[in-house]
Amino acid sequence: MSGNPSSLGILDRRGAIFIVLVLAAGVLVPVGNLLVPAGSPFHISDYLVPLLGKYLCYALLAVALDLVWGYCGVLSLGHGAFFALGGYAMGMYLMRQIGPRGVYGNPVLPDFMVFLNYKELPWFWLGFDWFPFAALMVLVAPAILAFAFGWFAFRSRVTGVYLSIITQAMTFALMLAFFRNDMGFGGNNGLTDFKDIVGFPIASGSTRGVLFFLSALALVGGYLLCRALVTSKYGKVLVAVRDAESRTRFLGYRVANYKLLAWVVSAMLAGVAGALYVPQVGIINPGEFAPANSIEMVIWVAVGGRGTLVGAALGALIVNAGKTWFTGALPEAWLFALGALFVVVTLFMPRGVIGLWGDFTARLRKPARGGVPAGKPAE
């Protein structure tokens, strides 16, 4: 099945396999670590569990980007902004859970505010000591930014490379702003040294296992949401906007509204990915806003297969696993390898890994000259 909406329902065979594998990993990794002794070769190290959880967060981010690029035709070079905003919302909550480390009474000031001689907690930090409020902000903060940006950009009919450049300028401007110490977000050091999350020690193996499971669950939920959108009537219009925006507009559809909804949903999913990413890596800083990060996200989707959702997640897993290996074995060669990968995908694999796999399986199913399917003995 192609990445375009179809009448086969929300789930196809490929999507079902993807969900089963992700949920199986989400359950087996933490449960297996509880049952297997620490010295066993089957025990996954405390370093590897959050690393795999980080990959799942990146996969969710890639699915979110594929929704707007693969199905709506909006190439975003600024999705790192939404990812970082969700991460900062979670980081602010985690900083408020550290305990009595400030010197100015209640509410307790984070260490960096004490160092910068803050006299009181900034107003925009209020409420982040309560997890439900922080979880809400994980969704609301990226959604507000996406709505404000999309409202003006889409109604002004900014498209193509011009829109991509504007999204990149957006995340670059936010990166510069968050680097400032007087912004109240920790400056270039960001937020780190987290201790607890909802009362549980964040460094414990069981907490990391739960975070890994939640990352897998969020990836499946994000995929199902995007899949439901793109297989609905709304999704058919979205693809029409991607393929022939002017014609779709002339038919009477409010193109800006269709693009805006996909843009906001995508931003919220990116925020969730950022929120799950932060407690697993232990830090959030302005570097997450860097335009290079957003460009790398586009490569994930291209490698896996644009307009497939499953391929986008697979591309994120493949590229980031390769990045982990390259930066450990050949750190100076990683950027060259990433650039070469993008060139190879663009020239020889325009439909990504998913498209390549689809061509391979189609050849296996294709009947031979005598009418016998390839790979099947004649009777």
Do 317 and 352 touch, CB atoms closer than 8 A? no
DSSP 45: P
pLDDT tens digits along 267-277? 999 999 999 99
pLDDT tens digits along 162-191? 999 999 999 999 999 999 988 999 999 999
| Confidence at residue 4, expressed as pLDDT on a 0 to 100 scale | 43
Tell me the residue length of the chain. 379
| Confidence at residue 3, expressed as pLDDT on a 0 to 100 scale | 43
pLDDT tens digits along 329-378? 888 888 888 889 888 888 888 888 888 887 777 787 776 555 555 545 44
| Confidence at residue 114, expressed as pLDDT on a 0 to 100 scale | 81
User: For the chain, which residues make up each domain, given as ranges?
Assistant: 13-288
Q: Which residue has the tokens 């066993």?
A: 40
Q: With 90 as the cut, is the pLDDT of residue 155 above it? A: yes
| Confidence at residue 378, expressed as pLDDT on a 0 to 100 scale | 42
- pTM for this one? 0.91
Do 297 and 82 touch, CB atoms closer than 8 A? no
DSSP sequence for 67-120: HHHTTT----S-HHHHHHHHHHHHHHHHHHTS-S--SS-SSPPPHHHHHTT-SS
